Structure 1
Amino acid sequence: MTFNTLRLGFITIAVGIAGNGLLASAAHAAEFSFTATNTTTSAITEVLVSENKSDWGYFDIGSGIKPGSTANLVWDQSTNSEGCAQWVKAAYADGSESEPAKFDFCEDGLAIEF
């Protein structure tokens, strides 16, 4: 997978469920989703994930996530063989990137704030 780098305001875990293209764990038959909220002043252009912080994949976020907006994201079934623990980061329209932070994407109601 290929991901661009992003600036992260800070990532926090909260509650949420969602709906459009990313990864999941093979241990789970259900569709895995989470919410991503942009708390910065720059649009998010990519949301990237990695098991090892070396090989990055990305979610389809369409035209991006505007400042103050929340998007529902769903892991793609092609990633079902990956583990639940993943690093995540965001790329911004201003060219900056966030620091990666690790989350358990098998957790129900995961919400991430950038």
Structure 2
Amino acid sequence: MFKKNHVFASIALLALSTVALPNAASAEQWYFYVRNNSSAAIKQLLVSENGSSWGYFDIGSGVGVGAQAKMIWDSSTNNQGCSQLIKAVFSDGSESQPSRIDFCKNLDDPIVFQ
């Protein structure tokens, strides 16, 4: 079973329109997609295995309204569990409700924030 190392995950933001670089992602990298269907930009993504201690992803300048982005888990998270809570923090200061996601399944189905 796939595990991740630390709750404090670090990822790289890759917009779907970004051209793949040589030697970029190996087949072993864990990733997921985020789609922003809300009316405000996503400025942070927070994850937690237990719901009380939250780590954040570095998503650069954020995920714009109507945009979709690919998120890559940092290899330092490889020993964490697949099931994690995720929530978004928006540019207007609001937060989404946490959703429990199995990050080892359906990697190409985006997590949609409303």
TM-score by length of 1: 0.74
> 1 or 2 for the larger relative contact order (CA 8 Å, sep ≥6)?
1
- Tell me the SS of whatever aligns to 1:99: coil
| Structure in which a larger fraction of residues adopt strand | 2
Deviation above 4 Å: which 4+ runs of structure 1? Answer: none
Q: Which runs of 5+ in 1 are unaligned?
A: 3-18, 22-28
Indicate which of 91, 102, 105 corresponds to 1:104: 102
The structure with the largest alpha-carbon Rg is 2
Alignment of 1:28-67 (within 5 A): 30-67=28-65
- Give the alignment of 1:1-114 within 5 angstroms: 20=12, 30-107=28-105, 108-114=107-113
How far residue 110 of structure 1 moved from its aligned partner, in angstroms, is: 3.7
**Percent identity of paired positions between Structure 1 and Structure 2:** 47
Q: Which residue number corresponds to residue 7 of structure 1?
A: none
TM-score by length of 2: 0.74
Q: Mind listing any 5+ residue stretches in structure 2 that lack a counterpart? A: 1-6, 14-26
Q: Note the alpha carbon deviations across 1:35-57, whole angstroms, 9 max, x for none.
A: 10100110100011110011111
In the alignment, the residues of structure 2 paired with residue 36 and residue 90 of structure 1 have an alpha-carbon distance, to the nearest angstrom, of 10
C-alpha offsets along residues 33-90 of structure 1, whole Å, 9 cap, x if unaligned?
0110100110100011110011111222110111000111011111111000000000
